Amino acid sequence: MTIGIVGYGAFIPRRRIKLEEIAKVWGADAPAYKRGLQLYEKSVPGADEDTVTMSVEATRNALARSGGVDPADIGALYIGSESHPYAVKPSGTIVAEAIGAVPALHVADLEFACKAGTESLFIAQSLVKAGEVRYAVGIGADTSQGAPGDALEYSAAAGASAFIFGGDEDLIVAEIVDSFSWTTDTPDFWRREYMHYPRHGSRFTGEPAYFRHSMSSARGMMAKAGMEPRDFAYAIFHQPNGKFPMRVGKKLGFTHEQLETGWLSPWLGNTYSGASPIGLTAVLDIASPGDLILLTSFGSGAGSDSFVIRVTGRISEVQDLAPKTRAQLDENKIYLEYGAYAKLRGKIRMAE
């Protein structure tokens, strides 16, 4: 049975902060950070935006591109995030209620650092494949935080993407050809309960965590599918900063041209669970029928999911039916100073 994406959508908040504005406050060397991390600015959620609100808008965009999927036919909805608004109370129920998918559906929130989004995609597509549900929604969304002054503060950003999976061949815009995951226990990044900000294993985060898992997953995926880098029109990797996804892609043998469409982090920042899936939406926005796409996520802790995706002839009919990802990234921006940013991100202690 062929299954695939029948609708996709992204949501990126309008607010941005430039890297210089953060560096200025902490006395850091902005040009060195820009060169080192390849980051120029990042998205910032408003006080009224969170993982739930962004997920609702991303899913509405996915429904707009779905060729008329009735939300009542959605049998499962999963949100992968490390910034669910409640510690106890699901995000998914709010999203399901808002899109009109309640009450006959399965819902759960998933967590796996930055990989929870692609894991929700994997579960959603698997349930459709197994015939358990007619349509399933997988969402990756985050409004992550870095501690003030920490290197993560320059990258932690906000965004969401949503994918509706189904098996109706005339509705599929991108077929899921195959998938693979590569997971070990690696303590490179964590946040304990009740802590506001995460901690990381510093230099431990690069080679044994991000690069080892991403490369093993991508290589395992290509070996399983009998493919190599030149077979793909596009490849998308997890984007903790601007530098890592380009470097990992090139190490694997992909070219700049294959990587640049899904490479959003220099202007978006790291949207954690949203990151590589939002990159996929940017690629689907301009992809052509027959294009093959490699999607490889990474989540600290650590694991990496890969998918081989083949774009179908229906893609061109749906690309213009919702706001495109690159347009959301490049247009209608509101630039913040650090003070307003600190207020919005709850970094200022308020009266009880």
Partner 1 sequence: MFSPARAWREFPQRYRLEAAKCSGCSKILYPPRLVCPECGGRKFTQEALPRDGKVVTYTVIRVPPAGFTEQTPLPLALVELTNGVRLMVQIGDVEDPESLEIGMPVRLEFRRISWDGEAGVIFYGHKAVRAGS
Residues that bind partner 1 in the complex, under the rule CB under 8 A: 14-15, 46-50, 52-53, 56-57, 60, 85-86, 94, 97-100, 323, 327-328, 331-332, 334, 336, 340, 343-344, 350
238 part of the active site = yes
Residue 50 CB, shortest distance to partner 1, in Å, is 6
Q: What is the dihedral of CA 146, 147, 152, 156, to 10 degrees?
A: 20
- Measured from the CB atom, is 99 or 280 closer to partner 1? 99
Q: Please check whether residue 236 is in contact with residue 295, taking contact to mean a CB–CB distance below 8 angstroms.
A: yes
Residue 21 CB, shortest distance to partner 1, in Å, is 14
Residue 162 CB, shortest distance to partner 1, in Å, is 12
Angle, vertex CA 184, rays to CA 180 and CA 187, nearest 5: 135
User: Which residue matches tokens 């600190």?
Assistant: 342
Residue 100 CB, shortest distance to partner 1, in Å, is 6
Q: Please check whether residue 75 is in contact with residue 135, taking contact to mean a CB–CB distance below 8 angstroms.
A: yes
Catalytic residue among 114, 119, 153, 213: 114
Residue 75 CB, shortest distance to partner 1, in Å, is 19
Q: Please check whether residue 291 is in contact with residue 306, taking contact to mean a CB–CB distance below 8 angstroms.
A: no
Catalytic residue among 41, 57, 82, 153: 82
Instruction: Provide the sign of the torsion angle of the four alpha carbons 208, 210, 216, 217, taken in this order.
Output: positive
Rounded Cα distance between 124 and 115, Å, is: 14
Spatial neighbors of 352 by CB under 8 A, at least 6 apart, are: none
- Measured from the CB atom, is 226 or 332 closer to partner 1? 332
82 part of the active site = yes
φ and ψ at residue 293, rounded to 5 degrees? -125, 135
- Measured from the CB atom, is 59 or 179 closer to partner 1? 59
Residue 91, classified by CB atoms within 10 Å of its CB into exposed (0-12), middle (13-18) or buried (19+), is buried
- Measured from the CB atom, is 9 or 240 closer to partner 1? 9
- Measured from the CB atom, is 16 or 115 closer to partner 1? 16
Q: Which residues are catalytic?
A: 82, 114, 238
